[in-house]
């Protein structure tokens, strides 16, 4: 997938990368938002909707704080997936990366697909 290559190039342009994730842990609310009537009836591997919403709120807050400080960010599930596969956040099933840049131009805006190198 070409966007993985583009995102990887963006990661290299960032001064730092924040990694945020959530574990698969039912909250015991039996709210049914995950698609199952009870937490006990939720199969393994199906994320708790409450955890997913919470991590989304954390990501939004982190990016908003960065924007308040005039720092550029971009939420990347691709880089989060790489971090997850590298087990940088052990036990987390949903991981996102936020590259951060404080340069003269936002490197995460007007991005073009990166072509794969042919050998």
CA 59 to chain centre: 8
Q: pTM (2 decimals)?
A: 0.82
How sure is the predictor about 115, in pLDDT bands with cuts at 50, 70 and 90?
low
Average pLDDT over residues 12-23: 93
For residue 111, the model assigns a pLDDT of 64
CA distances from 83 to 10, 47, 55 (A): 15, 18, 16
Judge contact between 23 and 102, C-beta under 8 A.
no
Angle between helices 77-85 and 2-13 (to 10 degrees): 90
pLDDT digits (tens, 9 = 90+) for 48-70: 999 999 999 999 999 999 999 99
For residue 49, the model assigns a pLDDT of 92
């Amino acid at each position: 997938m070409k966007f993985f290559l583009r995102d990887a190039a963006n990661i290299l342009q960032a001064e730092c990368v924040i990694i945020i994730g959530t574990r698969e842990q039912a909250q015991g609310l039996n709210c049914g938002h995950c698609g199952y009537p009870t937490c006990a009836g939720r199969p393994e591997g199906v994320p708790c909707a409450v955890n997913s919403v919470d991590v989304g709120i954390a990501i939004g807050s982190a990016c908003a704080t960065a924007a308040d400080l005039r720092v550029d960010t971009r939420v990347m599930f691709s880089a989060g997936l790489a971090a997850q596969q590298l087990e940088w956040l052990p036990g987390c099933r949903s991981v996102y990366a936020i590259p951060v840049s404080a340069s003269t131009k936002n490197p995460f805006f007007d991005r073009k697909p990166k072509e794969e190198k042919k050998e």
